[in-house]
Amino acid sequence: MKKLYTVIAGILLTASVFAQAPEKMSYQAVVRDASNSLTTNQAVGMQISILQGSATGTPVYVETQTPTTNANGLVSLEIGTGTVVSGDFTTIDWTNGTYFIKTETDPTGGTSYTITGTTQLMSVPYALHAKTAESITGTVNYTETDPIYTTSEAANITAAHITVLGNTSGTNTGDQTVITAAQATAITVNTAKVGVTTAQATILGNTSGTNTGDQDGSETKVTAGTNVTITGTGTTASPYVVNATSGSSGHYVGELFGGGIVYYVYNNGTNGLIASLDDLDGGSGVAWSGNTSTLIGATAQNMINGTSNTAAMVAQSSTANKAGTLCNSYAGGGFTDWYLPSNRELYLLASQDILIDQILDNDGNGATNGFSQEYIAPTYGRYWSSTEITNNSAWYYGFNVGYSGSNGKILTYRVRAVRAF
């Protein structure tokens, strides 16, 4: 089954000064399949309904169309130009309540609609509504009612006013009397006329820096929501504290992000690991190192930190076009922090090979590929890790058989770069 993710790019209505408003609305949507891959260059069957009142309201107009997706999975159509099933698009009264667009889709191009989506029109299609002016007939006279000024207000500006406007000293040089704290405290109020109490007038005169009234956070009501918690009562003594909770949205395994594809996440998707979109060895594999009998030592034997292992590998001599150097010099997506994964990081990558293969092998892009599964020389479906074992051997992982092993650094296995976020 395929999924339809619709993106309302806009309800586009245009009309020239002298032309009649077109009886149609532009609509766009993107079609993806169950693995989140774009459905490209393929006809899809769609039934479009204009519903009145609610998302389950009465359809006032229904039509069908069979648009074709483009290379980006995008379908574009004009509502009002399809095969009419019921109603008349030109007679819709856009002022009569709210309206919703309901789309029903058959990804195979037929009329067995398996995907449904409903979106509210958030504003009246004004170009169509403006057609109501076409109903005016006969001669209509309008009288201008805007005020006509015979004397400019600028004539009342005096030199004293100009002086006040030009004052930049920070001192009030006009006639705006500044009320002192003592004067504000002494204010007496006719509460019958203005509704201000003597206590409120006293607050106006408070200059101590201490809030003596009831103005605090309790007047602002904050409510918790999805993945958001609120503590505190909103007062000065116990102010609100807003926190995100677990389950907040983040990155996910299989996401195309950071120059590659995400294969491991933690901290609710805030952090994780990314693999490059293709192997870096050119298809025939490369040796682990140019020094096939030299022990690097502890700096290259970490089981979980491929970054430090790769740095130690690159520091050796004769490393050109070898596993560690290929990853260290890779700049996929504009990033320069790629490295050869450690033994455990490579194991985590292998645990997601089915999902990654499905996404990268079926996206229609020859430059993005899943992992090699062949069991033929010279690579045998094996990928190098950056974790050294002895002076002449290092860890690898066999993607075709699903286990880790060790072998000579001189052998030519495949290479896939990773980076952390």
Q: Which amino acid is at 242?
A: V
How far apart CA 130 and CA 21 sit, in angstroms, is 8
What length is written for the chain?
A: 421
Give the residue with greater pLDDT, 117 vs 305: 305
**What's the mean pLDDT in 28-32?**
82
pLDDT band at residue 35, thresholds of 50, 70 and 90?
Answer: confident
- Give start and end residues of each alpha helix (H) in 101-259: 126-129, 159-165, 181-185, 191-194, 198-204
Q: How far apart are the first and last CA of the chain?
A: 33
Q: What count of Cα atoms within 13 Å lies in the side-chain half-sphere of residue 37?
A: 16
Q: Which amino acid is at 91?
A: T
Sole residue written with tokens 């409120």: 200
What distances in angstroms separate CA 244 from CA 234, 247, 249, 262, one per listed residue? 18, 9, 10, 23
pLDDT band at residue 32, thresholds of 50, 70 and 90?
Answer: confident
**In this structure, are residues 375 and 239 in contact, taking their beta carbons and an 8 Å threshold?**
no
Token duo for residue 267: 């901290």
Give the residue with greater pLDDT, 28 vs 129: 28
**In this structure, are residues 273 and 349 in contact, taking their beta carbons and an 8 Å threshold?**
yes
Token duo for residue 165: 């406007």
- Predicted TM-score (pTM) of this structure: 0.45
| 231 burial level (CB within 10 Å; 0-12, 13-18, 19+) | exposed
Is 60 exceeded by the pLDDT of residue 187?
no
Is 50 exceeded by the pLDDT of residue 305?
yes
Q: Can the peptide bond before residue 378 be classed as cis, meaning omega within 30 degrees of 0?
A: yes
Residue 217 backbone phi and psi in degrees, to 5 = -65, -15
What pLDDT is attached to residue 372?
87
**Residues in contact with 396: Cβ distance below 8 Å, sequence separation at least 6, in sequence order:** 382, 383, 384, 385, 404, 405, 406, 407, 413
Q: What count of Cα atoms within 13 Å lies in the side-chain half-sphere of residue 306?
A: 32
Is 60 exceeded by the pLDDT of residue 113?
yes
**In this structure, are residues 34 and 13 in contact, taking their beta carbons and an 8 Å threshold?**
no
Pairing of strands 58-65, 3-5: unpaired
What pLDDT is attached to residue 210?
52
228 three-state secondary structure: strand
pLDDT digits (tens, 9 = 90+) for 371-405: 988 888 899 999 999 999 999 999 999 998 888 99
What pLDDT is attached to residue 127?
54
How far apart CA 282 and CA 270 sit, in angstroms, is 32
**In this structure, are residues 43 and 68 in contact, taking their beta carbons and an 8 Å threshold?**
yes
When computed from its CA atoms, the radius of gyration of the chain, rounded to whole angstroms, is 35
What pLDDT is attached to residue 14?
38
Mean pLDDT lowest among 24-38, 76-90, 183-197, 373-387: 183-197
- Compute how many other C-beta atoms are within 10 angstroms of the C-beta atom of residue 85: 13
Pairing of strands 115-120, 228-231: unpaired
What pLDDT is attached to residue 9?
40
pLDDT digits (tens, 9 = 90+) for 331-373: 999 999 999 999 999 999 999 999 999 999 999 999 999 998 8
- % of the chain with per-residue pLDDT over 90: 46
- Compute how many other C-beta atoms are within 10 angstroms of the C-beta atom of residue 125: 18
**What's the mean pLDDT in 103-129?**
79
Checking 163-172 for CB contacts under 8 A at 24+ apart, the result is none
- Compute how many other C-beta atoms are within 10 angstroms of the C-beta atom of residue 142: 5
Query: What are the structural domains, with CATH classification, of the chain?
Result: 3-131 (2.60.40), 256-420 (no CATH)
Mean residue pLDDT of the chain comes to: 80
How far apart CA 322 and CA 184 sit, in angstroms, is 82
**In this structure, are residues 81 and 67 in contact, taking their beta carbons and an 8 Å threshold?**
no
**What's the mean pLDDT in 161-181?**
60
What pLDDT is attached to residue 224?
75
Residue 277's region, left for phi above 0, alpha for psi from -120 to 50, else beta, is: alpha
Give the residue with greater pLDDT, 157 vs 322: 322
225 three-state secondary structure: strand
What pLDDT is attached to residue 58?
92
pLDDT digits (tens, 9 = 90+) for 244-275: 555 545 999 999 999 999 999 999 999 999 99
